[in-house]
Amino acid sequence: MSDTTFDILRARQDTPGCEQVLHFNNAGAALMPNRVLDAVTGHLRLEAEIGGYEAAESAHDAVEHVYDAISQLIGSQRDEIAIIENATRAWDMAFYSLSFKPGDRILTSIAEYASNYIAFLQIAQRTSATVEAIPNDQHGQVSVEALQRMIDERVKLIAITHVPTNGGLVNPAMEIGKIARQANILYLLDACQSVGQMPLNVQVIGCDMLSATGRKYLRGPRGTGFLYVRRDLIEQLEPPFLDLHAATWVTKDRYEIRADARRFENWETNYAGKIGLGVAVDYALAWGLEDIWTRVSHLASTLRTRLSDIPQVQVHDLGVQKCGIVTFTVAERDPLEIGYKLAGQKMNVSVSATASTRLDMEQRGLASVVRASVHYYNSEEEIERFCDFVSRIG
């Protein structure tokens, strides 16, 4: 969907940051639209004027709406959603609710994110469970055939990052879900970088748990995220910690954990951010996730093509399906140096290093890559300007 067929003017007018920077760091934190900014600052102002508890009470309907909005976004029920301060903590609350014993197997992806893999290693050290990376196929994505061959009665969990942090790869989440369901194995999907840039439905994917953030492609405020847990699984999982929101102290020596997914939340929360997350989800739904995905895919494909035309540039994205993240290196230039030079031109990117996705980066012989991630409010003119500057760096 090109600039001529997409309402790029409205998208950019709704985004005040577009006047300040060329922002290709949407997989880090996207630019908030005006209505999200207004919702967050408006609630903070209300807290300052009438008090935090009182502001939360007056905003009750807006706070509760967040659960409905996210349910619509991912095809779940509202009682399957917990609002948590970030995607990592949301993922942790699900993962650390599971019990493992010696010999249990955790299957994950080669491109798994460091925070997740560190948690796997910690649990493996505590319990003598094992962590195994599913081999990639010839396209560099999780091999569904290899996963099928690895399934046995000892596999306790399949945990996959949908879109890795270090490239445009989209792992075959739905195909993995089919295998997990057939084998009756729990399936945890890290959708931190996929939610908001493409349509997702937990029923279609077949995951039992899904974690995501607000700050990336949903264009919400930082410090917001959510967790989905399948309804008939919720009461089987005891969160790693509880408080008076997640549970009720019913007698002197007994408590009861609440029955819905909010058992994974805690009492104190960022109400302004929570409200802003709901507004961000509404805003994404109003644009339409299919249209967003078409637009993001077009821009990313255009950026990959233009970068590939530059002799000294190598693009590193893998997978049959690719998303809005474009990673590249420039011959004889450190990616950090490239990032600094781009920042000097008010062009925002990230640099992804080995420590974030060690297995994948080491397998491909990469120390670091420049990560440029586009969103629908970016323009084709920005891509031309960006690539022109990169060509002159080399």
Residue 87 confidence (pLDDT): 96
Q: Are residues 266 and 195 in the same domain?
A: yes
242, 95: one domain = yes
- CB atoms inside a 10 Å sphere around CB 232: 9
Amino acid in position 47? E
Share of the chain above pLDDT 90, in %: 98
Q: Based on the domain organization, do 18 and 107 belong to the same domain? A: no
Q: Per-residue confidence at 7, pLDDT binned at 50, 70, 90?
A: very high
Count the domains in the chain.
Answer: 2
Average pLDDT in the 231-244 region? 96
Residue 324: inside a domain: yes
Q: What gap in Å lies between CA 69 and CA 281, rounded to an integer?
A: 6
Asked if residue 116 and residue 240 are part of one domain, the reply reads yes
Mean pLDDT confidence for 9-21: 97
Give the model's pLDDT for residue 394.
66
Q: Name which of 196, 390, 212, 195 is nearest 310 in CA terms.
A: 390
Q: What amino acid occupies position 174?
A: M
User: Distance (Å, rounded) from C-alpha 96 to C-alpha 123?
Assistant: 8
50 phi, psi to nearest 5 deg: -125, -10
**DSSP tally for the chain: helices H, then strands E:** 15, 15
- Same domain flag for 77 and 21: no
Asked if residue 297 and residue 164 are part of one domain, the reply reads no
**β-bridge mates for residue 84, sequence order:** 225
Is 45's pLDDT higher than 70?
yes
Reported in sequence order, the residue ranges of 65-154 that DSSP labels E, i.e. its strands, are 81-84, 105-109, 130-134
End-to-end CA distance of the chain: 30
Q: Does residue 185 contact residue 157 with C-beta atoms inside 8 Å?
A: yes
Contacts of 319 (CB under 8 A, 6+ apart): 139, 140, 141, 167, 168, 169, 170, 171
pLDDT in tens, 308-325: 999 999 999 999 999 999
Is there a domain that residue 1 lies in? no
- pLDDT tens digits, one per residue of 76-111: 999 999 999 999 999 999 999 999 999 999 999 999
Choose between 1 and 165: higher pLDDT: 165
Instruction: List the CATH number of the domain containing 26.
Output: 3.90.1150.10
Q: Looking at 286, 303, 333, which one is the last position of a domain?
A: 286
Please give the Cα distance from 151 to 178 (Å, whole number): 12
Quick one: average pLDDT of 194-218? 98
Is the model's pLDDT at 2 over the cut of 90? no
Whole-number average pLDDT of the chain: 97
The CATH number of residue 248's host domain is 3.40.640.10
3-state secondary structure of 254: strand
* Claim to verify: residue 130 and residue 274 sit in the same structural domain: yes
> What are the tokens at 81?
């959603």
Residue 3 located in a structural domain: no
Q: Are residues 18 and 42 in the same domain?
A: no
pLDDT digits (tens, 9 = 90+) for 55-65: 999 999 999 99
Which tokens belong to 210? 């899904």
Q: What is the pTM of this model?
A: 0.96
E strand segments, the chain: 22-23, 81-84, 105-109, 130-134, 155-161, 186-190, 209-213, 225-229, 247-251, 254-257, 313-315, 325-330, 347-348, 350-353, 368-373
Count the neighbouring beta carbons within 10 Å of the beta carbon of residue 75.
14
Measured CA distances, 346 to 18, 20, 21, 300 (Å): 11, 8, 5, 20
Give the SS3 label for residue 28. coil
Same domain, 190 and 211: yes
Q: Which band of pLDDT confidence, cut at 50, 70 and 90, is reported for residue 5? A: confident
Contact 328, 370 (CB under 8 A): yes
Characterise 359 by phi-psi region: left (phi > 0), alpha (psi -120 to 50), beta (else).
Answer: alpha
- What's the rounded mean pLDDT across residues 355-372? 97
Average pLDDT over residues 337-349: 97
Domain boundary among the residues 237, 266, 286 is at: 286
Give residues with Cβ within 8 angstroms of 239, minimum separation 6: 93, 96, 97, 246, 257, 263, 264
User: Same structural domain for residues 49 and 135?
Assistant: yes
Give the separation between CA 91 and CA 188, rounded to whole angstroms.
8
Q: Which of 286, 308, 332 is the last residue of a domain?
A: 286
Rounded to an integer, what distance in angstroms lies between the CA atom of residue 281 and that of residue 278? 5
Domain that holds residue 299: 8-31+288-393
Whether 257 and 331 map to the same domain: the answer is: no
pLDDT band (50, 70, 90) for residue 3: low
Same domain, 354 and 221: no
